[in-house]
Structure 1
Amino acid sequence: MPAAPDWLREELVTLAWCWRLARRDGVVVGLTSHDRDLMLGGTLYRAAPGMKPSALETSDSLDVETMDLEGAVSSAAIAAADLDAGRWDGAQLALMVADWSAPDAAPVVVARGELGAVERRGSAFAVELQGVMRSLDGPACPATSPSCRAALGDRACRVDLAPLTHMRRVVAVDGRAVTLDAPVAAGTMAFGELLWIEGAACGLASPVIADDGAVLVLADVPGVLPVLPARVRLTEGCDRQLATCGARFANSVNFRGEAHLPGNDLLTRYPGG
């Protein structure tokens, strides 16, 4: 580990906490506990004295380390509507200590990780920072399954999503049902995705659970909807069954499942049962 910089060893230190948050949609926000804005590494860190981290313990073990981050909801940086819409879920965060009297000096990274679910409490919010070791909790190898483990269009599936992507406009919303200005092929959108690309919900994705031509039933609808009609991008879906993979996509060679492997129910079968 490199030695601590000299400005951390001074008797009188001029330290400021800095948070760099990168959302999944590409938006980057910088915040600092200092009472003035700081420019560090080309990123402007806005003064947010109400931001504060909980106690952080570091070690050389592989234990999963987490930290709570609390602060006030600010319309200029972290808006309540964005928190409620889930825009901040899964954002990447780097927590740093910087010398506010010498912003050109490289800051010291204290922790980095991914934000968990954000909880809003009136005019404040709280979120857990999940350490980088959290990724080691995942399975070392995929488990067998009768359905495909790949997502349509990913590196394992290899289906070209370009011809399966459509641009439409939503002209009406009734609960979780949205009406399009032009229909799509019936039966192609279930398990797909609707991405809002304009208005207040721009950048938010809604899974599609059923479709009937010009009407789609979504798993969830953003809390703040754009003014209708609103443009959306539709990506067709797949039920991850071998029959669908072969008949609809001619992609059985890349099927990532074990459709013919006997399951645990085989143990409950008796002769003559």
Structure 2
Amino acid sequence: MSHLMPELESHLAGDVTTHCFCWIIRRADEVVLGFTDHDRILNIERVACEPQTGLMASEATSALGLAVDGAEVEGALSSHRIIESDVECGAFDNAHVETFLVNWAAPEQRVLLRRARIGTVTRSGGRFVAELKSSAVDLDRVKGRRITRLCDAEIGDARCGYSGGKENGSVAGVISDRAFLASGLHAAAANWFRNGVLTWDSGGNAGRTNVVTGQETAGNDIRLDLRDSPMPDMRKGDMFSLQPGCDKSFGTCKTKFSNAANFRGFPHLPGNDAAYNYADGSGNFDGGVLVP
């Protein structure tokens, strides 16, 4: 529950009010942006909130118990500080958003309504909608291990134990914002890099990651298709590192990487069909392995 200072409470109880909303966005890269639906700059928490930037808040829903609160902030890309490529490349993902109710006639009279994090960001034309989630969303995160048939390690980490597969390459040609020709790679087999994690080491996308969805030989180069956010700043000569792809299955771990001893899943765990099946002779209950 938000605590109102006496002056603001008295003002809101009056017949005429001069209040507005302000939003302060704190991104993971330490960039701090301020916005307001008022018509002039307001300084909140030592952050200058830009006026009339096109932001508009929906009604926030609050839930009792451990349910996740939700709200949305919708707006146009009218602020020079909101760059379209940043939205597309995920710079605002998981950013912290503070929503204030402010008396614009006396900005020191304000109250913090909620703190939230940006979840899904969708875009249509020149507008975007950012979904805000409360801190209760952390309760939905998986802690510890899950008992599944697929491996829960990441290829190349300490639990996986596979080493030597990471390669470095560069962009030889740009096909689109989701596909390019790569040089310097040596694929051991077809689709060797499919599902692999690509990390940009230089250029406008440095530090960002993508997942490779497709691999195709193109002369002396290899064409790579990307799954995640578009890379509009991709340029010829940009450097990257790339891990071979792994679909987390026991078969891939065994045949592709010869790393079955370090597999971190439970490939022989019976599924629901086996659990609910009757031992009438028609099912496979010989005690053998389920996945060779």
Which TM-score bucket, shorter chain as reference?
A: 0.7 to 0.9
Q: Does 1:217 align with 2:217?
A: no
Gaps of 5+ in 1: none
Q: Deviations over 1:177-222 (max 9, x none)?
A: 5322312453553322223455555554321135468525324372
SS of match in other structure, 1:11: helix
> What is the Cα deviation at residue 257 of structure 1?
1.3
SS at match of 2:86: helix
Residue 3 to residue 80, structure 1, CA distance change in 2 (3 Å):
closer
Query: How many angstroms does 1:110 deviate by?
Result: 1.3
| Greater Cα shift, 65-74 or 181-190 | 181-190
Larger Rg: 2
Matches within 5 A, 1:1-273: 3-11=3-11, 15-58=19-62, 60-98=64-102, 100=104, 108-137=111-140, 143-152=146-155, 157=159, 159=161, 165-174=166-175, 177-186=179-188, 189-199=193-203, 201-202=205-206, 204-211=208-215, 214-220=221-227, 222=230, 224-242=232-250, 248=257, 252=261, 255-266=263-274, 267=277, 271=281
Q: TM-score, normalised by structure 2?
A: 0.70
- Kindly indicate whether the alpha-carbon contact (under 8 Å) linking 1:95 and 1:109 is maintained by their aligned counterparts in 2: yes
Q: How far apart, CA to CA, are the structure 2 residues paired with 1:54 and 1:177?
A: 36
Distance 2:184 2:129 in 1: 42
Cα pair distance change 1:167/1:141, threshold 3 Å:
closer
**Contact in 1 for aligned 2:54/2:77 (Cα 8 Å):** no
- Residue type of the partner of 1:180? A
Q: What is residue 287 of structure 2 aligned with on the other side?
A: none
Report which stretch shifted further, 146-155 or 70-79.
146-155
Q: Which moved further from structure 2: 171-180 or 196-205?
A: 196-205
Relative distance call for 1:24 and 1:244 in structure 2 (3 A) is: farther
Partner amino acid for 1:271?
G
What displacement does 1:237 show?
Answer: 3.9
Q: Deviations over 1:42-75 (max 9, x none)?
A: 4443223532212224354333321121222125
Q: How far, CA to CA, are the matches of 2:193 and 2:279 in structure 1?
A: 37
Q: TM-score, normalised by structure 1?
A: 0.74
Taking only the aligned residue pairs, the percentage that are identical comes to: 29
Instruction: Say if 2:211 and 2:226, in contact at 8 Å, map to a contact too.
Output: yes
When the two structures are aligned, how many residues end up with a matched partner? 269
2:182 maps to amino acid = L
Listed as ranges, the gaps of 5+ residues in structure 2 are: 284-292
Q: Which runs of 4+ in 1 moved over 6 A?
A: none
Report the Cα distance in structure 2 between the residues aligned to 1:17 and 1:209, rounded to whole angstroms. 42
